[in-house]
Amino acid sequence: MHPSDYKLLIFDWDGTLADSIGRIVEAMHVASERSGFQLCDDFAVKGIIGLGLPEAIRTLYPEISDAELMAFREHYADHYIASEAVPSPLFEGVVESMEAFRAEGYHLAVATGKARRGLDRVLKAHGWEGYFDITRAADETASKPHPLMLEQILAHCEVRPEHALMVGDSSFDLQMARNAGMDSVAVSYGAQSIEALKLFQPTLAIDRFSELHAWLSQRA
């Protein structure tokens, strides 16, 4: 796909647009401790970022019961929301690039492992309510890497998969894009290593968010 043919840009939130990975890891550790589970190392926690929260917890703790899962989620949410009193900052170049994408006529969307309540909270904190054509959160659709949230975004924007690009920092983002039949961009500065992401054959790998706009502009 030639970059000039892309009409829809879809972004993961945590680790792609927002520098929030450290807070997620910390909240997961706190929830584990408060729930009486053995702490996983940072690498393991980063490996589940991108999944919906219930799926992420069950991946780390397969033996967890339904009741324990509910309590764990509450502990996680309590700590994470408190830590987000000052919202996690957007990565350098995100605001400028997104404004350029809007000016150039791209459809813009978010596909995140966050819950709707959490996504709405951070969008409001950054003054981005209504900024995107559509946003999809994990608790209102299927968790990544199932392609349902991308299919819903494509349908809403009336764009075919070959004209859309998924940008993310996790294997779940790139696998979801593949499952939906669309190209992907891997970012190296988020939850997972660029070496792990390249196994999913992204169309582009970037070290800084601004490189995406430069690539699209150069090739358009």
Question: Which helix (H) or strand (E) is 204 found in, with range?
Answer: strand 204-206
Tell me the per-residue pLDDT of 203-214, one tens digit each, with 9 for 90 and over: 999 999 999 999
Strand 134-137 with 204-206, pairing: unpaired
pLDDT in tens, 159-218: 999 999 999 999 999 999 999 999 999 999 999 999 999 999 999 999 999 999 999 998
- Residue type, position 179, single letter: N
Q: What is the DSSP string of 92-139?
A: TTHHHHHHHHHHTT-EEEEEESS-HHHHHHHHHHTT-TT-SSEEEEGG
- For the cut 60, the answer to whether the pLDDT of residue 2 exceeds it is no
Q: Note if the pTM is more than 0.85.
A: yes
- Whether residue 220 is predicted with pLDDT greater than 80 in this model: the reply is no
Q: Is the pLDDT of residue 3 over 90?
A: no
Compute the average pLDDT of residues 125-154: 96
Please state the rounded mean pLDDT for residues 144-150: 97
pLDDT in tens, 39-91: 999 999 999 999 999 999 999 999 999 999 999 999 999 999 999 888 999 99
The CATH classification of domain 3-19+90-219, taken from the options 3.40.630.30, 3.90.550.10, 3.40.50.1000, 3.10.310.10: 3.40.50.1000
pLDDT in tens, 53-65: 999 999 999 999 9
**pLDDT tops 80 at residue 219:** no
pLDDT of res. 4: 56
Please, where in the chain does CATH 1.10.150.240 lie? 21-83
In which residue ranges of the chain is CATH 3.40.50.1000 found?
Answer: 3-19+90-219
> For residues 167 and 206, what is the distance between their CA atoms, to the nearest angstrom?
10
Q: What's the pLDDT at 36?
A: 96
CA distance to 10, 50, 95, per residue, from 79 (Å): 28, 18, 27
Peptide bond into 145 cis (omega under 30): yes
CATH number of 21-83: 1.10.150.240
